[in-house]
Structure 1
């Protein structure tokens, strides 16, 4: 992470908890700070919590945290992390956005964890930055902010802007920040403290490789599945997929049935409909736009396929999202 920087006093770290925030991501971000203080025997970090309206804020699992302050506080902060989960696309609090912009103008490092980067983007703080966020939120984010390039990485530290995909990657991110500020030895000790024996670099992948996730070893099939995954809006014809695998269409169909239990069309349809479900839950895109973004030619065609797959119309998924 570069040269060790000596800190004259404890860094103040704020956590803005948005209702529905992911508790694991938050815990993985704050606990390494506590461990760094305990292991070093010095108050290297101190922290505080804010929430919209200053009211108790509930995590996605139902646990409630009482914040120290509301949004707009003038408390000192070297860094502030926005912790969000659930459906960050629906969060639209102009007071929060204005406060975040004010902190950024003051030189505070602003971070977003899991769905937090979505809120930073809505505040206008991610333009021209290297950005990542949880893979579940990426399709909706890219539809809402097509001008912001998203990397499928664990975390990104770009000057005074930090974005993190969430989950356990928040621990990797904090260990990287501790190493930057206080050296490799302390960072390694913090990793050991949490039995995290393999600290991952920021550019590591968020998700398991398809080989592990699906339990498939056939390289031809894996090449095709990756191409399908990367072409949801414009589905590739079977002949093109077969060309990628260097087999005939008939042979490719056999590979799908042998390893996945169904054919190419069903697999592709399932992948596209899962993406549609994410967009319905996490964006306010009209149903027709969701249909087009997932490769369907009309909203009626999309609605029929969606109901067959999930047993409910797209409108019901949106209402329950």
Structure 2
């Protein structure tokens, strides 16, 4: 792909500034490294004049939601309080774009909520910042919410916000112009722990669910303290003095997953961190994360991340 791609960012009042920087900086650096105008971008807001971020910065914009130009990708970016705003103008503009042009519409941070409210995400996989998971599942049961940091292989790509936005942009750069350029951009950003779409969001249970259910918080604590010698769900339930079925219900209600799957994700996340941040052998990493066999560990890791542990490490060199 050689033609310049135009990204439009529809900025909803109180948008997250960090997510905007993580969206535009990879594009800027890709242009700089390649010495080519691979990307350009512009901003739109409700009034067509400015947009205010949640840290009270005023951004001058190029267009209003009503007159957003033709573009290749259009991302909605919002932040706190978007549930209580009137998005009629923006959703009308998005539906028109979706119907009349070939633009790829997506969302960053809490922008997925707005896409879901407009019905765009029905039947689709979608990511959103973990803070909104519980309310999102209640409000939009027809959307397949995932715990991944971003979803790229969907008609409407979404990223969960913050640095996950950079992960998505690096993924798109790799798609458009090759993995070597994407790696060079990440290196320039001093970002050496780039995550794939399948990486799960790291969630603070105390801030998200622990305050709602002490048994769930205790279960996750048990898991985190025994990553090298994992316990079965029945053993965890016994430690907590509850039934295995009750434990399953807690994980389903608050985390939209099972104890066994959540435990495996925790162990694999730790394995990935050890692979990219230490010089431990694959066998040592496997043992440190509770896998009896390096071969089994490699198969599970590849299923989760699309690469073997050895390939994961070689990507860093």
1:33 matched to 2:27? The reply is yes
State the SS of the aligned residue for 2:25.
helix
Unpaired segments ≥5 residues, structure 2:
209-214, 223-232, 243-249, 255-317
Q: Which residue of 2 aligns with 1:16?
A: 10
State the SS of the aligned residue for 1:170.
helix
Range 56-65 or range 90-99, more displaced: 90-99
- Please give the residue correspondences for 1:1-321 in structure 2 after superposition, counting only pairs within 5 Å: 6-7=1-2, 9-105=3-99, 106-208=101-203, 224-225=219-220, 244-247=236-239, 249=241
Count of paired positions: 227
State the SS of the aligned residue for 2:122.
coil
Range 93-102 or range 178-187, more displaced: 93-102
Q: Which residue of 1 aligns with 2:304?
A: none
> CA offset at residue 222 of structure 1?
7.2
Alpha-carbon distance between aligned partners in 2 of 1:20 and 1:55, rounded to the nearest angstrom = 15
| Larger gyration radius, structure 1 or structure 2 | 1
Change beyond 3 A, Cα 1:74–1:209: closer
Change beyond 3 A, Cα 1:191–1:75: same
> CA offset at residue 75 of structure 1?
1.3
Change beyond 3 A, Cα 1:188–1:224: same
User: Larger RCO: Structure 1 or Structure 2 (Cα < 8 Å, ≥ 6 residues apart)?
Assistant: 1
> CA offset at residue 176 of structure 1?
0.3
Alpha-carbon distance between aligned partners in 1 of 2:205 and 2:90, rounded to the nearest angstrom = 38
> CA offset at residue 139 of structure 1?
1.5
State the SS of the aligned residue for 1:102.
helix
> CA offset at residue 224 of structure 1?
2.2
1:41-71 CA-to-partner distances (Å, cap 9, x unmatched) read: 0000011100012131110001110111101
> CA offset at residue 12 of structure 1?
0.6
**Superposition TM-score, scaled by structure 2 size:** 0.66
State the SS of the aligned residue for 2:126.
coil
Alpha-carbon distance between aligned partners in 1 of 2:240 and 2:70, rounded to the nearest angstrom = 64
State the SS of the aligned residue for 1:246.
helix
Moved over 4 A (4+): 208-211, 220-223
Aligned-residue Cα RMSD (Å) equals 2.9
Alpha-carbon distance between aligned partners in 1 of 2:216 and 2:18, rounded to the nearest angstrom = 34
State the SS of the aligned residue for 2:195.
coil
Q: Which residue of 2 aligns with 1:298?
A: none
Alpha-carbon distance between aligned partners in 2 of 1:68 and 1:222, rounded to the nearest angstrom = 46
